[in-house]
Amino acid sequence: MTNMIRLWLLKIGAGRTAALSCALGLLAVPALAAGPEMVTFKASYAISIAGIGIGRADVESRFIGNSYAAAITGSTNGVSRLVSDASARLAGNGRFFGNRVVPSAYNLETNENGFQTHVKMAMASGRITDVEALPRLLQTKDRVPVTPRHKIDVVDPLSAFLVPLDRPGVPSGRRACDRTVRVFDGWTRYDIQLYYKDTRAVDGGTDAYVGRVIVCGARYVPIAGHRTGNSDAMSSTRLEVWLAQLPDMPVLVPYRMQIGTDLGDLVIYSTRFTVDKAERRADAKVVSPAASP
């Protein structure tokens, strides 16, 4: 389950804490010349397992032209902190080209009861050009080795569920869902095979999302870095991601995620969902989400 959870907030829970190594610090957005509008998406997500709240995450993404900078910060809360006090900071940026996400950088920092993990990756044209992932994986006989070919034509966990659209308008469910996302997280390579299940209407109330969501089923397929004798406690029949389109933008983002586990369904769902737009100035400096009020 830990590999799937690391998948955005999605991949929440990078490596060691099943529900909340999800998160991230905010990356600065490069300044652009006057003209492109800056769109800021902010959301909060509650995280529960078997109906019990265990954490939360806050997301901020900024879009300028075809560039994006996305960020998540998360932590355990409630009674779950009696078992595990975990927090995480995660960030990434890159560009959209048609319906492709082409990341440039990805960073992850997690801390669970003093145990820390760290990933720093640089990418270009879908290829990992530099990676540092700590702690290093234990080399065992049953571990599938990661080779250079596993670092080509991939995205990072944060970019995995940003879904750009190659044409305007309301996307069909199959257009949004029917695809395979090839992910490298610094330690492991895996595929997320998405397929269309349903289209639904949701109304989260004030400051939350109201509108249509596309429900994608998902299958997690380990490729490299995993141990063949260590099966993940995930149910491939209970993996879902609900995608919502940002207003007036050709981008879909997760509204809800469900991951079936032996302990019950891990559910990440949006409780706040807002989009703001602002014109860029010619003399704009670097904009840091972390400095925003």
Does residue 221 carry a pLDDT above 70?
yes
Q: In degrees to the nearest 10, what's the CA dihedral of 234, 69, 119, 194?
A: 20
Q: Per DSSP, what are the bridge partners of residue 277?
A: 39
**3 state SS of 155:** strand
In terms of C-beta distances under 8 Å and separation of at least 24 residues, what long-range contacts does 118-123 make, across chains too? 119/14, 119/185, 119/186, 119/187, 121/156, 121/184, 121/186, 123/94, 123/156
Q: What is the pLDDT of residue 261?
A: 84
What is the band of 18 on the pLDDT scale with cuts at 50, 70, 90? very low
* 268 Cβ contact list (under 8 Å, min separation 6): 9, 10, 12, 22, 45, 46, 47, 57, 254, 256, 257, 258
The residue-averaged pLDDT of 77-82 equals 54
Does residue 260 carry a pLDDT above 70?
yes
> What are the tens digits of pLDDT across the range 163-183?
998 877 778 899 899 999 999
Q: What is the pLDDT of residue 37?
A: 84
> What are the tens digits of pLDDT across the range 174-217?
989 999 999 999 999 999 999 999 999 999 888 899 999 999 99
Q: What is the pLDDT of residue 276?
A: 92
Average pLDDT along the chain: 81
Is the model's pTM score more than 0.75?
Answer: yes
Q: What is the pLDDT of residue 192?
A: 94
**Strands, E, within 14-126: which ranges?**
37-49, 52-64, 67-76, 86-97, 100-112, 115-124
What is the band of 29 on the pLDDT scale with cuts at 50, 70, 90? very low
Chain center to CA of 66: 18
Which DSSP string do the residues of 213-277 spell out, in sequence order? EEEEEEEEEEEESSBTT---SEEEEEEEEEEEEPTTSSEEEEEEEEEEETTEEEEEEEEEEEEEE
H-only helix segments in the chain: 2-5, 173-177
Q: Identify whether the C-beta of residue 289 lies closer than 8 Å to the C-beta of residue 60.
A: yes
Q: What is the pLDDT of residue 126?
A: 94
Q: Identify whether the C-beta of residue 249 lies closer than 8 Å to the C-beta of residue 39.
A: yes
Between residues 230 and 166, the one the model is more confident about: 166
> What are the tens digits of pLDDT across the range 120-143?
999 999 999 999 999 998 889 999
The pairing of strands 179-184 and 189-203 is antiparallel
Q: Identify whether the C-beta of residue 239 lies closer than 8 Å to the C-beta of residue 26.
A: no
What is the band of 64 on the pLDDT scale with cuts at 50, 70, 90? very high
Distance CA 29, CA 120 (A): 18
